[in-house]
Amino acid sequence: MSQQQKQLRLGAFLPGAGQHVAAWRHPQAQSNGALNIEHYKQIAQTAERGKFDAFFLADGLALQQRRGAEGRTAFGGDFEPVTLFSALSAVTEKIGFIATASTTYEDPYILARKFASLDHISGGRAGWNVVTTGSSETAGNFGLENHPIHADRYIRAHEFIDVVKGLWDSWEDDAFVRDKETAFYYDPNKIHELNHKGRFFSVRGPLNIARPPQGYPVIVQAGSSEDGKELAGRTAEVIFTAQQTLEDAQAFYADVKGRLAKYGRTPDQLKVMPGVFPVVGITEAEAKAKYQELQDLIHPQVGLALLQGLIGTDLSSYPLDGPLPDLPETNDNKSRQALLIDIARKHNFTIRELYQWIAGARGHWTIIGTPVQIADQLESWFVNDAADGFNIMPPYLPGGLDDFVDLVIPELQRRGLFRTEYEGTTLRENLGLSRPVNQYQKVLAAV
């Protein structure tokens, strides 16, 4: 199959009122969206109407106070995503649900059970976005004085994922016979204890829920540091990343795909999906006006606080209209800090200009234009080995998603780049990913 015949993948990253830091203030935004289940039902159904592969949500385990902007941001409380997606799966049929959960602060047994539950409830539409948690504010919520160092978080993540996969394999696919005549509910020969003992975890198993319909919920990874890319190469099936140029995206694509072979994997087993912040207008002037309307709503304290949170450094003592100073390496989100420093240096941005630049996409790719212009740029990355698809980040909700579904999706479909109907009923089927064989069945087959 040629590259032009392949279908790109699309995720919809849909938090509350939208992606822009001032989205909740937009006159057409749902300002209480983060805790409005009817709003979430609406946007989930809109995303499914647009044939998106998945609804993606980030998550954290600490209130994002955004020091210096207390009370001014829309980060004051959100639904826990697995809980939310369980509800949304009941009002949708095909779209997948990718929920973020931390390997640094969560427990592998509980995480394995809740994602298996979501996969069963949704009929095989669950995905787990693996994060190691970049926010040092989380430590205090879990009895720790300090946030674990970056390298240790990733070492723990490798072991965590192995434990979770092992637990998902506790039951062979046909273990539950439920034979009323013989009185066997399950075949005791088809259940397996994990008995894992490692550096971070000691987990006996088995998991107290049947193997997920997909075998494993789809494994997604969102880190782009060296450690993050290696974790993705070994374990991820989708990687959510942030690049600004075609050349940088091509380099990242080749790098992470090139890591797969040493783990016995092929390039098609990992989908690279950069984040894209699209502002859509019937004309280019309309799109630019929509963007400027949001930019005008940025409160300076909110913009600075957003930048400080992403870059991992207090900038309050520096003039907003002065250059970004040289910064020490953060222990939080290293890849995002490196990206923002690179953007500031390339564009000679002041601190104010940098926070304005990231207020919408937070370092992801921003495209402002007509449906044709946006489709042109997405197609360019797709056909030139820079992306297998994209995680779409609407500026405000529900309008920004409506614009993309009603205007851009038809243009992508007209070009033969995107589906007109779902290929299957599970997230794996729609992403073109195979269902993993139970590791215990592999062992038995080899004997």
What is the residue-averaged pLDDT of the chain?
93
Residue 2's pLDDT band, with cuts at 50, 70 and 90, is very low
Q: Which of 11, 147, 132, 15 is nearest to 73 (CA)?
A: 15
Distance CA 102, CA 130 (A): 6
Per-residue model confidence (pLDDT) at position 128: 98
Averaged pLDDT for residues 354-360: 87
Q: What is the pLDDT of residues 283-325, one digit of tens each?
A: 999 999 999 999 999 998 998 888 888 888 889 889 999 999 9
Of 27 and 340, the structure prediction assigns the larger pLDDT to 27
Per-residue model confidence (pLDDT) at position 118: 98
Per-residue model confidence (pLDDT) at position 443: 65
Q: Name the token pair of 137.
A: 């504010």
CA angle 142, 168, 430 (to 5 degrees): 105
434 in a labelled binding site: no
CB 10 within 8 A of CB 427: no
Averaged pLDDT for residues 364-370: 96
Q: What is the pLDDT of residues 80-117, one digit of tens each?
A: 999 999 999 999 999 999 999 999 999 999 999 999 99
Q: Name the token pair of 122.
A: 């949704």
On the question of pLDDT at 177 being above 60, the answer is yes
318 in a labelled binding site: no
Distance CA 409, CA 52 (A): 9
Averaged pLDDT for residues 365-382: 98
Per-residue model confidence (pLDDT) at position 136: 82
Q: What is the pLDDT of residues 51-75, one digit of tens each?
A: 999 999 999 888 776 666 677 777 6
Distance CA 202, CA 75 (A): 35
CA dihedral (114, 120, 121, 127) positive or negative: positive
224 in a labelled binding site: yes
SS3 264: coil
CB 86 within 8 A of CB 99: no
In the chain, what percentage of residues exceed pLDDT 70? 96
Residue 26's pLDDT band, with cuts at 50, 70 and 90, is very high
225 in a labelled binding site: yes
Per-residue model confidence (pLDDT) at position 1: 36
Q: What is the pLDDT of residues 190-249, one digit of tens each?
A: 999 999 999 999 999 999 999 999 999 999 998 788 999 999 999 999 999 999 999 999
Distance CA 366, CA 364 (A): 6
Q: Which of 6, 30, 32, 84 is nearest to 402 (CA)?
A: 30
154 in a labelled binding site: yes
253 in a labelled binding site: no
Domains observed in the chain = 9-284+361-431 (3.20.20.30)
CA angle 152, 155, 161 (to 5 degrees): 135
Per-residue model confidence (pLDDT) at position 3: 45
SS3 154: helix
| First-to-last C-alpha distance (Å) of the chain | 37
Per-residue model confidence (pLDDT) at position 444: 59
Q: What share of the chain is helix, strand, coil (3-state, %, to 5)?
A: 45, 15, 45
CA dihedral (384, 386, 391, 393) positive or negative: negative
Whether pTM > 0.85 for this model: the answer is yes
Q: Which of 307, 332, 308, 304 is nearest to 320 (CA)?
A: 304
